[in-house]
Amino acid sequence: MADIIQLLPDHVANQIAAGEVVQRPASVVKELIENAVDAGATEIKLIVKDAGKTLIQVVDNGSGMSATDARLSFERHATSKIRSAEDLFQLGTKGFRGEALASIAAIAHVEMHTKLHHEEVGARIRIEGGKITEQEVAVTADGTSIAVKNLFFNIPARRNFLKSNQVELRHVIDEFQRVALAHPDIHFDMYHNGNDLFSLPASNYRQRVVNIFGNKTNEKLVPVGETTGVVKLSGFVYKPENARKSRGEQFFFVNNRFIKSPYLHHAVVSAFEGLIREQAHPGYFLYLEVNPATVDINIHPTKTEIKFDDEHTLYAILRSAIKHSLGQFNIAPVLDFDKDGGLDTPYDYKNKPVHVPTIEVDSDFNPFREEESQGNTFSSGHSQTGSGSGSGGGRPSWQQNARQGRPADWESLYVGLGDRDKSDTDHFSSVEIESGEVMGSEVRQSGMLFEESSGSEPSVTTYQLHKKYIVTTIKSGMVIIDQYRAHQRVLYEQFLRQMTVKEGISQQLLFPIVLYCSSSDVALLHELKDTLQFIGFAIDKLEGDEITITGIPASVSESEVSIILEQLIADFKDEIPDRSFSQTDRLAKSLSKTLAVRSGEILNEASQEALVNDLFACKEPNVSPFNRPTYITITVEDLDKKFL
């Protein structure tokens, strides 16, 4: 049998390696920015066009490279970060595999300009599909500039798997933010299609978080800090009231490297137990510094998953540190059984002299004394108690009792009223009380609430089961409707009709609603602004991190606006349900999912009937917008079979 095993050509091997390292434009952004950080840059600029599909350019003022190093940097497994296998356990840099530039050059058009600081001229290299087409001496600025154009130009199948520009840009921004948050001492800029998205000057960790996610973020942050022999922990967590329904700002950094760790995430969530509502996610920015020898980051090509030697200790430290911070800043309730709250001295009484309290005792008070007379005037009470205390002069007894704290002789005030009460009732002897039967018949006759049933069949045609299903009858049996899915279908077709006809009803607000979110979320709402206006949202201002809303749809309450926009942004970031749908369709689905009446909500009879009628007036009443059945039918024959 002939030999069948052979070595792969270099260009094929590079494309296979590129499939592991470069999955989308965001992967290229991550590798290039991390290389710029490793080069010691203090200013890094990211330029992106068409969400990175057309151009990704990273410009830095780092150390730069010589002409020889520039050429070798595109070879596989060529790196300046490690020299031996032992160096893998003492890593202090972002990259070390030596695969990034070779993988990127194999699937794109790459052009590099680089120059050492002490050199007068630099080098320029152009590579297309892994082959160097041009290398020459060039006049360029200090540092390195790498431009990656036409990503996946020679692998059209991979390019077709890329999602829309909105989603790909979201991933690019995520990678940019992760590196920027880990290195607040570096100035970062980001541009997309000529627009300035981020300008982050060098600052501290807190200011970097505020610069990225908006000024309102500052008041949400609770600092966390703990130093042990195992880990040095610092960073911030969001206050419990700022927990969101969607996974928002959640960042772990280990030795200034962004990681994903479900185990440590569980530690954070458990620290918030009892403080946040169900299905809410806390936000956090946590920085862990550990001994590099105790972690292994070489277990995944993207280096976002790492392995700790002692995860259980990190879990306990992280959980207790967050709990301590929430209690220290009075975010979490604290029980102190040794402290008596009555001993706290108000600030106003701090410098005032202390007065000894005095006690007044009525020596004549006897709760068992029988009243000597039962009068119906105030004078009888006076003669009874006038000599009791020896004070009061001619003051009536009820005033003395009020002053001295005695029980007043209030029963004497009602003496003699019994006869008058009996005589007064005679005046009401002719009043007739209208019975419920008469009132009910009159209401039925007026036709305002109910119609009187003509037979033995009850007038109620719908019934809510377990606050989730609506049961109604039909000629052949009965229909059981899922109220949440049914309302989704009704709202979905309603929103589609409004956006298509562009005749959404808007309810103008007396006081505009001002919301704050990150600049990337504002950029997303810029694209959705026109479509949102067609269904009733009037957005007056979209600048920086501020959103001003002056009108909302008639079916939406003011308290739901922030929830709706938060869910809408989260759906479009993750491209729910799929990129093959139009923006209008995706927006209608997202809004219908958020505004539909949930399972567990009680509906009155009128609402039940209206939902049933609206559902069967839809074009597709059988399924929800997400292709789930909205109702099932049970015939009389099916019921008869159950009793056989």
Identify the CA nearest to 271 among candidates 206, 218, 325: 325
Q: Indicate if 119 and 145 belong to the same structural domain.
A: yes
Confidence of residue 339 (pLDDT cuts 50, 70, 90): low
Give the pLDDT score at 541.
79
**What CATH number is given to the structural domain containing 267?**
3.30.230.10
d(CA 248, CA 570): 8
Q: Indicate if 31 and 60 belong to the same structural domain.
A: yes
Pick from 24-33, 439-448, 495-504, 553-562: least confident: 439-448
Give the pLDDT score at 187.
96
pLDDT at 217 over 50: yes
Confidence of residue 391 (pLDDT cuts 50, 70, 90): very low
Domain boundary (301, 328, 355) is at 328
Question: Is 477 inside any structural domain?
Answer: yes
Give the pLDDT score at 454.
46
pLDDT at 47 over 50: yes
Torsion, Cα 597 603 605 607, to 10 degrees, reads -30
Question: Is 381 inside any structural domain?
Answer: no
User: Mean pLDDT, to the nearest integer, of 39-49?
Assistant: 93
Question: Is 483 inside any structural domain?
Answer: yes
Q: Indicate if 235 and 93 belong to the same structural domain.
A: no
Q: Indicate if 615 and 556 belong to the same structural domain.
A: yes
Q: Starting from the edge strand earliest in sequence, which strands make up the sheet with 143-149, in order?
A: 131-138, 122-128, 109-115, 143-149, 55-60, 43-49, 187-192, 195-200
User: Mean pLDDT, to the nearest integer, of 87-96?
Assistant: 62
pLDDT at 145 over 90: yes
Q: Indicate if 323 and 248 belong to the same structural domain.
A: yes
Give the pLDDT score at 342.
60
Question: Is 90 inside any structural domain?
Answer: yes
% of the chain at pLDDT higher than 70: 75
Cα separations in angstroms, 4 against 1, 7, 9, 551: 9, 10, 15, 70
d(CA 53, CA 51): 6
User: Mean pLDDT, to the nearest integer, of 247-270?
Assistant: 88
Question: Is 189 inside any structural domain?
Answer: yes
| Burial environment of residue 129 by CB neighbours within 10 A (0 to 12, 13 to 18, 19 or more) | middle
Confidence of residue 415 (pLDDT cuts 50, 70, 90): low
pLDDT at 244 over 90: no
| Number of folded domains that form the chain | 3
pLDDT at 168 over 80: yes
Secondary structure of residue 125 in the 3-state scheme: strand
Give the pLDDT score at 18.
63
Q: Indicate if 263 and 170 belong to the same structural domain.
A: no
Confidence of residue 448 (pLDDT cuts 50, 70, 90): very low
Give the pLDDT score at 474.
84
Confidence of residue 357 (pLDDT cuts 50, 70, 90): confident
Confidence of residue 307 (pLDDT cuts 50, 70, 90): confident
Q: Indicate if 196 and 214 belong to the same structural domain.
A: no
User: Mean pLDDT, to the nearest integer, of 465-485?
Assistant: 89
Question: Is 292 inside any structural domain?
Answer: yes
Give the pLDDT score at 380.
41
**What CATH number is given to the structural domain containing 624?**
3.30.1370.100
Give the pLDDT score at 82.
63
Question: Is 348 inside any structural domain?
Answer: no
Q: Indicate if 171 and 268 belong to the same structural domain.
A: no
Q: Indicate if 168 and 20 belong to the same structural domain.
A: yes
pLDDT at 436 over 60: no
Confidence of residue 497 (pLDDT cuts 50, 70, 90): confident
- The type of residue at 412 is S
Domain boundary (300, 328, 356) is at 328
Q: Indicate if 536 and 616 belong to the same structural domain.
A: yes
Torsion, Cα 372 374 379 385, to 10 degrees, reads 30
pLDDT, the chain, mean: 78
Alpha carbon 343 to chain centroid, angstroms: 41
User: Mean pLDDT, to the nearest integer, of 304-323?
Assistant: 86
Domain boundary (312, 328, 344) is at 328
d(CA 283, CA 320): 17
Confidence of residue 515 (pLDDT cuts 50, 70, 90): confident
Give the pLDDT score at 341.
58
pLDDT at 403 over 60: no
d(CA 210, CA 121): 40
Q: Which residues contact 254 (CB under 8 A, 6 or more apart)?
A: 288, 289, 290, 295, 306
259-277 pLDDT tens trace? 888 889 999 999 998 888 8
d(CA 88, CA 245): 39
User: Mean pLDDT, to the nearest integer, of 524-534?
Assistant: 80
175-207 pLDDT tens trace? 999 999 999 999 999 999 888 888 999 999 999
Residues of the domain holding 478 = 469-633
370-388 pLDDT tens trace? 655 444 444 444 444 444 4
Determine if residue 600 is left, alpha or beta; phi over 0 gives left, psi from -120 to 50 gives alpha, anything else beta: left
pLDDT at 369 over 80: no
Pick from 61-65, 165-169, 344-348: least confident: 344-348
Q: Indicate if 184 and 231 belong to the same structural domain.
A: no
User: Mean pLDDT, to the nearest integer, of 353-364?
Assistant: 81
User: Mean pLDDT, to the nearest integer, of 159-175?
Assistant: 85
User: Mean pLDDT, to the nearest integer, of 539-565?
Assistant: 81
Q: Indicate if 26 and 137 belong to the same structural domain.
A: yes
Phi, psi of 237 (to 5 degrees): -125, 155
d(CA 462, CA 246): 35
Give the pLDDT score at 278.
78
Question: Is 404 inside any structural domain?
Answer: no
Largest CA distance in the chain: 133
User: Mean pLDDT, to the nearest integer, of 591-599?
Assistant: 85
pLDDT at 434 over 90: no
Q: Which helix (H) or strand (E) holds 232?
A: strand 232-238
d(CA 223, CA 403): 57
